[in-house]
A = this chain, B = another copy of it.
């Protein structure tokens, strides 16, 4: 077995160094959200990147009881298990269809921007091509449209902040160009949703798309903890939470052969 290398934390008696900084220096001096950035990037953020990171985490905290994250955590809490077990269950539901648009959306935008550079094309041209291609392949571009919101308050706020903090670059530009193209080519409004906004902004901040689900996860864990705590302190275990019309359409009842 080779020795194991890690860039995260050096652990020695009475001495903890995380990504180069002593933990006693970080604690109370560097905002937690900036420490999150440090952990994912190897360096402390600039003032602007730090503020953006903080905003992104807050934008992910909660969306009520309807998403799989909150539902899974509350259902599992209802079985009478410890708080971390129930929070973890919600985290498990973060997948390609829930939060996954950040990861896949960021990959799509990053590939698009690379393509523009390589082919020497304007972002608007690339947007036109990408939307056309996706329509031909009947493949949705992730990060556009939302099942509840037509104008998501989180998206608007995040994009405004990105502008104020001068983070806006090619990825946000491409994201907005795709939004326009989608309306032009389909006649339907499919505005950038919160996942899409984070995909675009984090790409302009230089983040690896493979961290797409990480922002959502770290922010959402705060909301899930609140859900589990509420479930454990305000409700009885095994309460009836949801209603569903269920129809059994399996093999019809019969005797054993």
How many of chain A's residues touch chain B, expressed as a range? 35 or more
Closest chain B residue, CB of each to CB of A43: B251
The answer to whether A241 touches B4, judged by C-beta atoms less than 8 angstroms apart, is: yes
Residue of B nearest to A158 (CB): B27
B residues in contact with A31, CB < 8 Å: 31-33, 54
- CA–CA, A222 and B240, complex, Å: 24
The CA of A30 and the CA of B97, in the complex, are separated in Å by 29
A84-92, A124-132, A178-186: which lies at the B interface?
A84-92
Query: Within residues 218 to 257 of chain A, which ones have a CB less than 8 A from any CB in chain B?
Result: 218-219, 221-223, 225-227, 229-230, 232-234, 237-238, 240-257
Q: Does residue A157 face the partner (Cβ distance < 8 Å to B)?
A: yes
Partner of A18, one of B61, B96, B243: B61
Prevailing SS type, chain A contact patch: mixed
Q: Is the CB of A7 within 8 A of B249?
A: yes
The closest CB in chain B to the CB of A248 belongs to B10
Asked whether A169 is an interface residue with its Cβ less than 8 Å from the other chain, the reply is: no
Most buried by B among A32, A54, A247: A32
Determine the chain B residues whose CB is within 8 A of the CB of A244 once the complex forms: 1, 3-4, 65, 241-243
How far is it, in angstroms, between the C-alpha of A40 and the C-alpha of B250 when the chains are bound? 12
Question: Which residues of chain B are near A200, meaning CB under 8 Å?
Answer: none
Is the pair A58, B230 in contact by a Cβ cutoff of 8 Å?
no
Contact A75 B93 (CB under 8 A): yes
Task: Tell me if A141 counts as interface (CB < 8 A to partner B).
Answer: no
Residue of A6, A31, A65, A242 ringed by the most chain B CB atoms within 10 A = A6
Known: A28-B158, A28-B161. 4 other contacts (CB 8 A): A8-B223, A31-B54, A79-B99, A89-B93
- Give residues in A with beta carbon < 8 Å to B: 1-11, 13-33, 35-36, 39-40, 42-44, 51, 54-55, 57-59, 61-66, 68-69, 71-72, 75-76, 78-89, 91-100, 147-154, 156-158, 161, 208, 210-211, 213-214, 217-219, 221-223, 225-227, 229-230, 232-234, 237-238, 240-257
Closest 8 A-B residue pairs measured CB to CB? A80-B97, A242-B242, A20-B251, A97-B237, A7-B250, A80-B96, A79-B93, A81-B95
